[in-house]
């Protein structure tokens, strides 16, 4: 088992303010590791920044000193053994959990004190590890719920079926179909989401998240339960989504071929701390990562 000394990362220069329980106020700091952002995003402000993020559940520190700076069109991955705190980080970034310490800046704006809905409107969308679709609604309706915040008709306009209602419904029907086209799912539009096969449900969840017009997309195990051919297709599609929508994507995944194949930057999490961060090649050869996955015996 790794002790605190071994888990301390090189990437954090200053000491984490883990001693003070108060959340410190927003400060736009240039991240210590700008070289980790893909070259094309270098000049721009990172779309998502987290500084010294941490959360305690009672006495247990689930996540500690988590730092990230994501380029605007970066695809990065978060890996780590089970229970390392990966999903907890997603929950922190989307404000499902209130961080005990640390700051999250989305496009330069602090998300502290915002509700889950507000954070989504600010530009973070996510999928879930255990699929959470609107099972009794159709595939198209699922996507349309995601579009909800882009739609503007007043309740009475909708209820009395004024012309504006029809115009908007038609417009967003087309948009939904375009979106479903990414995964060639137009034919399933009127199917109930709960009746879809597992892989299609995962894809639909990604589309629903995309419909909310995010700047950052958080994918929690997008390839879980997919066969190698589907995983391959998903990798291409995720890159296509990044290129078409110009968004940053952070994903959690256990499938190493997937992570190594698609991510430009990978962070390895163990016991709630980032133990290594780098390109796929660096991560594969990092002794600390090998230790976290295989135990001390694995290291020569």
Partner 1 sequence: MTASKATTAQAGTPAASGYRSLSMPMRYLINAILVVVFLVVGELMIDGGVVSRYQTGVIEQIGIYIILAVSLNIATGYLGQLPLGHAGFMSVGGYSCAIFIMRMMDVVGVTARDFVTGSPAAVGLFVIGIIFGGVCAAICGLIIGVPALRLKGDYLAIITLGFAEIIRVVMQNIDGVLGFTLTGGAKGLTGIPSYTNFLNTFIVVAISLFLIHTMMKSRHGRAILSIRDNEIAAESCGVNTTYYKTLAFVASAFFAGVAGGLYAGCIGVMAPAKFGFMKSIEILVMVVLGGMGSMLGSVISATVLTILPEALRAVSDYRMVVYAVVLILVMIFRPEGLLGDYDFSMSRVIERIMNHGKRPEDFAPATTPAVEAVATAVASGAPSATTEKDTGKEASTHE
Binding site for partner 1 (CB under 8 A): 1, 81-82, 94, 96, 115-117, 120-121, 125-126, 128, 132-137, 141, 144-149, 151, 153, 155, 158-161, 165-166, 169, 184-188, 190, 197-200, 208-209, 211-212, 223-231, 233, 254-255, 292-295
Residue 197 beta carbon to partner 1: minimum distance, rounded to whole angstroms: 4
Q: Which is nearer to partner 1, 36 or 210 (CB)?
A: 210
Q: Are the beta carbons of 63 and 27 closer than 8 angstroms?
A: no
In the structure encoding, which two tokens stand for residue 17, read together? 């303010």
Q: Where would I find the beta strands (DSSP E) of the chain?
A: 48-57, 60-70, 75-79, 101-106, 109-110, 124-126, 216-220, 248-252, 265-270, 273-278
Distance CA 76, CA 200 (A): 23
DSSP labels for 202-235?
HHHHHHHHHHT--SEEEEESTTTT--HHHHHHHH
Q: Which is nearer to partner 1, 61 or 186 (CB)?
A: 186
Residue 282 beta carbon to partner 1: minimum distance, rounded to whole angstroms: 20
Residue 23 beta carbon to partner 1: minimum distance, rounded to whole angstroms: 22
Residue 54 beta carbon to partner 1: minimum distance, rounded to whole angstroms: 21
Residue 110 beta carbon to partner 1: minimum distance, rounded to whole angstroms: 19
Q: Which is nearer to partner 1, 47 or 79 (CB)?
A: 79
Residue among 246, 241, 239, 249 nearest 216 (CA): 249
Q: Which is nearer to partner 1, 38 or 225 (CB)?
A: 225
Edge to edge, what strands does the sheet with 48-57 contain?
Answer: 60-70, 48-57, 101-106, 109-110
Q: Which is nearer to partner 1, 42 or 299 (CB)?
A: 299
Q: Which is nearer to partner 1, 242 or 254 (CB)?
A: 254
Q: Count of CB atoms within 10 A of residue 136's CB?
A: 10
Q: Which is nearer to partner 1, 195 or 285 (CB)?
A: 195
Residue 155 beta carbon to partner 1: minimum distance, rounded to whole angstroms: 5
Distance CA 85, CA 228 (A): 26
Residue 237 beta carbon to partner 1: minimum distance, rounded to whole angstroms: 11
Q: What is the DSSP letter of 192?
A: B
Q: Which residue has the tokens 């295989």?
A: 294
């Amino acid at each position: 088992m790794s002790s605190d000394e071994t888990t301390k990362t090189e990437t954090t220069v200053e000491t984490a303010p883990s001693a003070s329980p108060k959340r410190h106020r927003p400060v736009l700091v240039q991240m210590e590791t700008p070289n980790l952002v893909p070259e094309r995003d270098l000049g721009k402000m990172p779309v998502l920044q987290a500084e010294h993020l941490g959360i305690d559940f009672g006495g247990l520190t689930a996540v500690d000193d988590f730092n990230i700076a994501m380029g605007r069109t970066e695809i990065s991955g978060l890996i780590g053994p089970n229970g390392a705190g990966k999903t907890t980080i997603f929950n922190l970034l989307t404000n499902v959990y209130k961080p005990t310490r640390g700051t999250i800046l989305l496009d330069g704006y602090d998300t502290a004190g915002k509700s889950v809905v507000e954070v989504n409107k600010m530009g973070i969308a996510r999928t879930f590890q255990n699929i959470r679709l609107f099972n009794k609604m159709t595939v198209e309706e699922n996507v349309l719920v995601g579009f909800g915040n882009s739609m503007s008709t007043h309740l009475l306009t909708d209820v009395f079926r004024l012309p504006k209602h029809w115009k908007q419904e038609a417009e967003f029907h087309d948009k939904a179909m375009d979106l479903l086209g990414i995964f060639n799912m137009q034919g399933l539009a009127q199917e109930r989401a709960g009746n879809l096969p597992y892989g299609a449900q995962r894809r639909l969840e990604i589309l629903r998240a995309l419909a909310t017009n995010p700047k950052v997309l958080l994918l929690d195990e997008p390839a879980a339960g997919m066969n190698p051919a589907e995983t391959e297709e998903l990798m291409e599609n995720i890159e296509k989504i990044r290129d078409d929508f110009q968004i940053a994507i952070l994903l959690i995944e256990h499938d190493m071929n997937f992570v190594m194949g698609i991510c430009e930057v990978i962070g390895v999490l163990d016991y709630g701390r980032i133990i290594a961060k780098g390109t796929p090649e660096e991560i594969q050869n990092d002794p600390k990562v090998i230790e976290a996955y295989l135990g001390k015996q694995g290291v020569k």
